[in-house]
Amino acid sequence: MKEKELRRSLSVLPIGTVMKLTDLSARQIRYYEQQGLVIPERNEGNRRMYSLNNVDSLLEIKDYLSEGINMAGIRQIYAQQKEEETAQKNRLQQSLTDKDVRRILHEELEAVSGLTDRSQDLDIHKKKL
DNA sequence: GTTCTTACA
DNA sequence: TGTAAGCA
Per-position DSSP letters for A37-94, written without gaps between them: S---EE-TTS-EEE-HHHHHHHHHHHHHHHTTB-HHHHHHHHHHHHHHHHHHHHHHHS
pLDDT of residue A29: 97
Cβ of A28 near strand C (under 7 Å)? The reply is: yes
Cβ of A65 near strand C (under 7 Å)? The reply is: yes
pLDDT of residue A93: 58
Closest by CA to A39, choosing from A21, A61, A23, is A61
Report CA(A32)–C1'(C1) in Å, whole number: 12
Q: What is the pLDDT along chain A (129 residues), one digit of tens a residue?
A: 777 878 888 999 999 999 999 999 999 999 999 988 899 999 999 999 999 989 999 998 898 888 777 776 667 666 656 655 566 666 565 666 777 878 888 888 877 776 776 655 655 556 656
